[in-house]
Amino acid sequence: MSRITNKVVLITGGASGIGKIMGRKCMEEGASELVIWDINQKGLDEVALEFGNKGYKVHTYQVDVSDLESIQNAASKVATEVGTIDILFNNAGIVVGKHFEDHSYEDIEKTIRINVLGVMHIARAFVAGMIKKGAGHIINISSASAFTPNPRMSVYAGSKWAVLGWSESLRLEMEQINERQKTDLHVTTVMPGYIDTGMFDGASAPLLTPLLVPEEIASEIIKAVKSNEILVQEPFMVKLLPLLRGVLPARMYDFLAGNIFNVYNSMSKFTGRDEVSSTQKHSKNLGSATQEQEIPVIK
């Protein structure tokens, strides 16, 4: 069991959305300190004030997770100012809801830098400290799209497939270290469907996959951390995706996903929300890619 009580927790993309909710819940569970990384300085200031007024010990850092130098500089500051991270939530990410031919080269580059390279670089920055300490837990927020393709989500889905494969491989490596050294290292991969936060305005939830309530999915993730669960797949239909993809011929799966469950049409009216655009403008002023609290979707 991974205890959160008296642990130092770091959450990327933690100034808003489920990142902020998970941070609050970790403090409610008795975490000793909370480290929040986000690109949105205004959001960082607001959450620091809000959590500080509750008596929580919070450290905030403006970090561009698409930039390795920014990650390394922030990780060095955390090591000096806070110490070893016990629990890491790799939560930050972005989505571009377009057909592939409409993606700019910048769209593709940003998505991979933030959703894939950022996640790996951040884990790399802290995993050595966890191994040295002999304990630690890394939670990687992937998506239900890691299990299935979806039109208008090609680059996003590709990034989340990459996260799933890497995260599960990292878990096995940590478990091998546990066997050799009697350590307590864990990795949990989270694959949620649509979360009702507004970031995916215009998208329609597929059949039998209701929108996830932010408070509820955040609670499920915290519960999974405490019980060292390997995978978090919500809602229930997400658990069936690997089975359906594995046993059905590709065309039959396409028929079910596209015509029965409406997965392949779920992004056809996607508009997103204004906050995404404002964050992108802000990040460009910093000369960096967008870091936005990710709302993973079922594909």
C-alpha distances (whole Å) from 80 to each of 35, 73, 118, 120 are 13, 11, 21, 21
Q: Write b or e for each residue in 259-271: b if 16 or more Cβ atoms lie within 10 A of its Cβ, otherwise e.
A: eebbbbbbbeebe
In this structure, is the dihedral angle defined by the CA atoms of residues 176, 82, 142 and 220, taken in order, positive or negative? positive
Identify which of 116, 125, 145 has the alpha carbon closest to the alpha carbon of residue 289: 116
Task: Give every CB contact of residue 261 below 8 A, 6+ residues apart in sequence.
Answer: 206, 207, 208, 209, 237
Determine which one of 56, 156, 194, 264 is catalytic.
156
Task: Indicate the DSSP class of residue 260.
Answer: I
CA gap 279, 170 in Å, rounded: 31
Residue 156 appears among annotated catalytic residues:
yes
Query: Which residues in 71-98 are b (16+ Cβ under 10 Å) and which e?
Result: beebbeebeeebeebbbbbbbbbbbbbb
Tell whether the torsion through CA atoms of 15, 17, 21 and 26 is positive or negative.
Answer: negative
**φ/ψ (deg, to 5) at 228:** 55, 40
Q: Which residues are catalytic?
A: 156
